[in-house]
Chain A
Amino acid sequence: MDKLLKRMFAPNEKSGFLPSLIAIAIGLVAGFIFLLISRPGQAVGAFLTILTSGFGDIRAVGEVLYHATPILMTGLSFSFANKTGLFNIGAAGQFICGAYAAVLVGVKCSFLPGHLHWITALAAAMLAGALWGAIPGFLKAFYNVNEVISCIMMNYIGMYLVNYLIVQTVFDSRYNQSMRVEASAVIPRMGLDQIFRVGPRISSVNGGIIIAIVIAVLLYILLEKTSFGYELKACGLNRDAAKYAGVNEKRSIVVSMIIAGAAAGIGGALVYLAGAGNRIDVVDVLAAEGFNGIPVALLAMSNPLGVIFSAIFVAYLNVGGFFMQRFDFAPQIIEIIVAIIIYFSAFALVFRNLLRSMPNKFRKKKENQTEGGGGQ
């Protein structure tokens, strides 16, 4: 345990998250300054609300976990591809394709018995997301198409296609939304409703968060504990060197994008199979969850286990921002705070160097003193 803690805070280790903590502190202070400038009288109250609401009671904690679920999945999607040196900005398209596949199965396949229904819906979402990720991966590997562009294009193609398909298959024209999924397609609560409740008021959290955390752990094991994961990372660090060492770099790129797409697709399923009346709006707007995964992944430095915590942290801020609205501040202050945190987390290298040099200076001073003392 002691060793683990040391590693996490060690300034010279790449895995140390002290730089992220510094960035978080700066982001929060900057957010507070924004509040102060716009309405000094209420800034303190609003800021405290942001910080405390997520812990307010056990039900609020449940809400935090509920809101963490989709960004955890899209965060995993981004970080997994990032480990292979790919910039998966296409999670929005993969997410919405997964969401559509899940809703389609959830509405149409009511003949599936019991738990099989939601599991099938989840699997369908995974496949749809994987397919949407596979295309940019394939184009990158075999045609050298920059994945940033192809992902952006796939986002728009996916959005228009899904809107069209919803209208053709599972449309509820009264609300301009997709239809409600069958009750058997809703992900079970897995006992979480018994934990995260205050009296009769239960929170929206469901089995989705457990599924997401399990997937995060699996992806971590795949990346860090298998030779296949090692090959993927080698590709990310230096594609040519990996090829020289006998890694099939083309396959690695495609597979990495397939897994990233599958993760984002599952994210879509977890939102729209969550019950809670979530339905896909038929509007020409890219899914925000796809982009919100990027800061989550960056904050965790693309470590799948870290993504669990950063997703919960960002969701905790968002829940705080929701409650802060009673002070008549726009909730976008949360996005501003997260953006500033991400900006400063990019300075990790500088922070790390600073931290590393600090103890050294301190030590040198000490050594000089003892040497001086010995001479007299």
Chain B
Amino acid sequence: MTTVYFIVQQTMFFSIPLLIVALGGMFSERGGVVNIALEGIMIVGAFSGILFINTFQSALPGQPILILAILVSAAAGILVSLAHAYASINMKADQVISGTAINMFAGAFAIYTARQLRGVQQIPFQNQFRLQSVPGLGNIPVLGQLFFQNTYITSFLGFAILIAAWFVLYKTKLGLRLRACGEHPQAADSVGVNVMKMRYTGVLISGALAGLGGLVFVIPTSTNFNATVSGYGFLALAVLIFGQWRPGRILFAAFFFGTLRAISSAYTGIPFLQRMDIPNVYYKMLPFIVTLVVLAFTSKRSQAPKAAGVPYDMGKR
């Protein structure tokens, strides 16, 4: 049973950032803007958040600084995504090119700034954010041990974002209009929806979520930030497509991938798998191979937003 608890806790660390960032990407793409810059936005978000923690940790320890850092990361993410929004919406640029540029910029910017400010590339922080046990809830048998022990507030934030994302996308005027802009912007425009504003909204939401997703990824898995999020932005993109641009399926895809990833990184702690004595390279490749195979079986009918990646041209029919 302890093994199961361990795997579930590990799965959270891998799945939650994927979930948050993929949901961010969903808002951008459902609005009609392909956001391949998720990786770069995550890097800048994590960089700003960790730099903030590193600077103020001695003055303000504990959970409050984590919450402030989350806000800082989200704000930084919004700032970067503005560049992407301007290029793809105002300038009608190729969205993939702009995204690639941002990905390239982000890593270099994080290293350059860290080295100019601190002399070294890595920014360390003290991880005092782990919750041994959530008061009250942590004492529930089984469930408490599964979800409320050895966890971070960011895990709960992930689920809160999921519910909010589902609600906004399907139950509000904003969500309906956003989706319309991603499917057929000319039609949306003809009934008075401001396509530009909607698309900006979508991209900026994706910036905020990707920015804080970067921080959420770094906090449980490391004690310093080294200008990388290990390709998690790209993996989130894969989760987004695997999840067919829908919140529920994205949740499934994120946890599917996260569970495999957790097993592959922690299989030595699982007696059953350890006894099988399979070379660890297979475990490392497993999440990627399984995702490929699953995609081969499920991609025939893709439900990508029809206008994603296409700049809005008012005169086009």
- Chain A positions within 8 Å of B, measured between CB atoms, are 34, 38-39, 87, 89, 139, 143-146, 148-150, 152-157, 160-161, 163-164, 284, 286, 291, 294-295, 298, 329-330, 332-336, 338-340, 342-343, 345-350
Contacts and interface: CB of A to CB of B under 8 A. Distances in A.
A148 B109 CA distance: 25
Nearest to B300: A144
Nearest to A335: B108
A295 B101 contact: yes
A242 B136 CA distance: 64
Contacts of B115: 330, 332
Contacts of B94: 346
**CB-CB nearest 5 A-B residue pairs:** A335-B108, A339-B105, A346-B93, A343-B101, A164-B281
Nearest to A167: B281
Contacts of B109: 332, 336
Interface of A is mostly: helix
B163 to A, nearest CB: 26
B133 interface: no
A298 B295 contact: no
A337 B316 CA distance: 35
Given A145-B296, A156-B285, A350-B92, A342 B104 contact: yes
B238 A152 contact: yes
B295 A346 contact: no
Given A150-B295, A152-B231, A332-B111, 20 more contacts: A144-B299, A145-B295, A146-B299, A149-B241, A150-B292, A152-B238, A156-B231, A164-B279, A332-B108, A333-B108, A335-B104, A335-B108, A339-B102, A339-B105, A339-B108, A340-B105, A342-B101, A342-B104, A346-B87, A350-B92
Contacts of B112: 34, 38, 330, 332-333, 336
Contact of B101 (A156, A291, A346, A348): A346
Contacts of B300: 143-144
21 contacts: A89-B234, A139-B295, A146-B299, A149-B242, A152-B234, A156-B288, A157-B285, A160-B281, A160-B285, A298-B100, A329-B116, A332-B111, A335-B105, A339-B101, A342-B104, A343-B97, A343-B98, A346-B91, A346-B101, A347-B91, A350-B92
A286 B231 contact: yes
A346 B285 CA distance: 35
Nearest to B100: A294
Nearest to B87: A346
A345 B285 contact: no
Contacts of B107: 332, 335
User: Interface size for chain B: under 10, 10 to 19, 20 to 34, or 35 or more residues?
Assistant: 35 or more
B105 A343 contact: yes
B302 interface: yes
B55 to A, nearest CB: 18
Nearest to B121: A330
Nearest to B108: A335
A181 B83 CA distance: 46
Contacts of A329: 116
Contacts of A156: 231, 285, 288
B254 interface: no
Contacts of B91: 346-347, 349-350
A215 B89 CA distance: 37
Interface centre among A139, A298, A330 (most CB of B within 10 A): A330
A125 B140 CA distance: 57
A347 B93 contact: yes
B234 A342 contact: no
A139 B302 CA distance: 14
A153 B289 CA distance: 7
Contact of B296 (A143, A160, A346): A143
A332 B43 CA distance: 15
B262 to A, nearest CB: 16
B116 A330 contact: yes
A340 B241 contact: no
A40 B107 CA distance: 23
A155 B100 CA distance: 17
Contacts of A334: 108
